[in-house]
Structure formats: C-alpha cells, structure tokens
Amino acid sequence: SQKIEQNSEALNIQEGKTATLTCNYTNYSPAYLQWYRQDPGRGPVFLLLIRENEKEKRKERLKVTFDTTLKQSLFHITASQPADSATYLCALAGDSNYQLIWGAGTKLIIKP
C-alpha cells in the first residue's frame, strides 16, 4: 500500500541554523509533492509545491528538493527563527487522481 513517512520525533534546531526535514514515500509515483505548515490547533498552510520533473524549488528561506529515485523530498529552512517552530506536513498527489496522501508531520522546534 502507499505510504508516506516523516520523522515522528521532534527536530530541535538552534536559531540561525538550517533545519532539514525529510519525507519518504513507497509504492507511489507522485505527480507532485507539497509541504504545509501547521501550528497547534490550526489548519495547515500551503508553503511549496514541487513537481516530479523538478529537482529543487526555493521560496525566500525555504528550499525543497525532490528525488524520485530515492523516493524522498527534503525541506530546508535556512537561518531558522523561533517563529519557524511548527509541525510541517508533506503531501503527495498522483497523476491519475488528485487525492492528496498526507504524512503525519514532523514537529520542528527552533531554540533561541
């Protein structure tokens, strides 16, 4: 069955450093992959989308890579700030239907 894995353990990073989150998937050939941010008790907010034929996407301090051979996406936040602390979700969609399959998310904690 299709499966998406994100690190279930919280990631603690010192302010100013680069945070890197991982999203691995199996039994799936996604047309694209998205990253969302979710704060406690709130709905997810869209951050970035990367397509299967793209290797890398950037937006301000955010960078996403997509390796379809490794079946992995990496999400980087450079010059991290305490305000970046949140749970980050990855979601994949196939090209035969548009249903998103979601990872459970990784909690990121940026320490001052």
Partner 1 sequence: DGGITQSPKYLFRKEGQNVTLSCEQNLNHDAMYWYRQDPGQGLRLIYYSQIVNDFQKGDIAEGYSVSREKKESFPLTVTSAQKNPTAFYLCASSITREQETQYFGPGTRLLVL
Task: Name the residues that contact partner 1, by CB under 8 A.
Answer: 4, 8, 32, 34, 41-46, 49, 89, 91, 93, 98-105
Name which of 74 and 102 has its Cβ closer to partner 1: 102
**Residue whose CB is less far from partner 1, 43 or 112:** 43
Q: Are 90 and 35 contacting, i.e. CB atoms less than 8 angstroms apart?
A: yes
Cβ count within 10 A of residue 7: 16
Minimum distance, C-beta of residue 103 to partner 1, in the bound complex (Å):
5
Tokens of 18: 């680069």
Structure token pair of residue 97: 């239907």
6 DSSP 8-state letter: E
Quote the least distance from Cβ 102 to partner 1, whole Å: 3
